[in-house]
Copies of this chain bind each other. A is one copy, B any other.
Amino acid sequence: MPQNDQPSSAFDVATAVRRAEGPVLVADLDPTWEVGGGILNGGYLLSVAGRAAVLDSPHEHPVAMSASYLRAASGGPATLTVTPGPAGRTLAHSLITLADDGGPVITVQATTATLGDEAPEYSEPAPEVAGPDECIDMAEHADKVPVPVQLPGLTRHVQSRLDPATALWALGQPQEEPVLRAWVRLADGRPADPLALLTFADVLPPTGFALGRTGWAPTVQLQVLVRALPAPGWCLVEARSSEIAGGWVDEDYRVWDSTGRLVAQSRQLARAARQR
């Protein structure tokens, strides 16, 4: 299992869960996986829950994870309570509550299964995007961002190279469609796996950034489907919104691996950032 091959990976350490007394698991949420203002990234929290989901499951991989985000968390000691559901040869269900000192942070419905190496019968091709080396390194271009954005901790843990076609916002030029694309990989060099894909499925800035709205868009409910084991190398992530209305926005992610295989999908409902 990839998550055990490289125990010194920063991602593995930050998402580790271990047994405590009774059925409860414990974790130390790393405050540096934050998206601004010390608020932990929702994808990071889901990776922690994903590790709890597979710990006692007969299956290796989180293939469907639906989480309700009850309140923001900023790191520190946490507990994970796993309530097993039906389990069979193909898949197993469980319900996970991740709580910190202030109470429940997220509740997660998890489905685990064991993904193989079968070629897809049908797979949506990846969009045409320039390679990672021709894309924009956000960390190198932070000075060009027109608003006083302090790059959040998440951008140090997950390297991202923005597709120039959807990065005009970073140069102060809003685009018409709420879509962002970037190549991403873990900064610690650890290859992506289903647990890392849970983070990648919520790793980009809010799609509102593309329209020039650089406010935070807190996640309310997020579903991630992991569809295949990713090949080594960069993953291409696309986030797109279909509707912004009444203070609500959806964000729809697709993640392709370095071979162009669709490896994950997610959709979240979030509160929309206020129009600037």
- Is A267 part of the binding interface, using a Cβ–Cβ cutoff of 8 Å? yes
- In the complex, the answer to whether A111 meets B245 with C-beta atoms within 8 Å is no
- In the complex, the answer to whether B267 meets A265 with C-beta atoms within 8 Å is yes
List A102-133 residues whose CB lies under 8 Å from chain B.
104, 107, 109, 111, 113, 115-116, 118-124
Minimum Cβ distance to chain B for residue A179 (Å):
11
Question: Chain B contacts of A135 at CB under 8 A?
Answer: none
A220 to B223, CA, bound (A): 13
- In the complex, the answer to whether A271 meets B90 with C-beta atoms within 8 Å is yes
Which residue in B86, B113, B227, B241 is a CB contact (below 8 Å) of A243?
B227
Minimum Cβ distance to chain B for residue A233 (Å):
19
Q: Which residue of B lies closest to A246 (CB)?
A: B118
Question: Chain B contacts of A275 at CB under 8 A?
Answer: 121
Question: Chain B contacts of A63 at CB under 8 A?
Answer: 248, 269
Q: Which residue of B lies closest to A125 (CB)?
A: B242
The 10 A-B residue pairs whose C-beta atoms are closest, nearest first, are A66-B66, A120-B245, A64-B221, A223-B223, A124-B242, A122-B244, A118-B246, A121-B244, A68-B109, A64-B269
Q: A interface vs B, CB < 8 Å? A: 63-64, 66-68, 70-71, 85-86, 90-91, 93, 95, 104, 107, 109, 111, 113, 115-116, 118-124, 178, 211, 220-221, 223, 225, 227-228, 241-248, 250, 252, 254, 262, 265, 267, 269, 271-272, 275
Minimum Cβ distance to chain B for residue A192 (Å):
17
- What are 12 A-B pairs at a CB distance below 8 A? A68-B95, A85-B107, A90-B247, A111-B220, A111-B221, A111-B269, A118-B245, A118-B246, A120-B244, A120-B245, A227-B250, A250-B265
Minimum Cβ distance to chain B for residue A111 (Å):
5
Minimum Cβ distance to chain B for residue A258 (Å):
17
A236 to B97, CA, bound (A): 37
- In the complex, the answer to whether A262 meets B246 with C-beta atoms within 8 Å is no
Q: State the copy count for this chain.
A: 2
Q: A63-B269, A66-B66, A269-B225 are in contact. Are A95 and B107 (CB under 8 A)?
A: yes
Q: A121-B244, A247-B90 are in contact. Are A66 and B223 (CB under 8 A)?
A: yes
A21 to B124, CA, bound (A): 50
Question: Chain B contacts of A64 at CB under 8 A?
Answer: 68, 220-221, 269
Question: Chain B contacts of A104 at CB under 8 A?
Answer: 85
A66, A113, A211, A242, most chain B CB atoms within 10 A? A66
Minimum Cβ distance to chain B for residue A210 (Å):
10
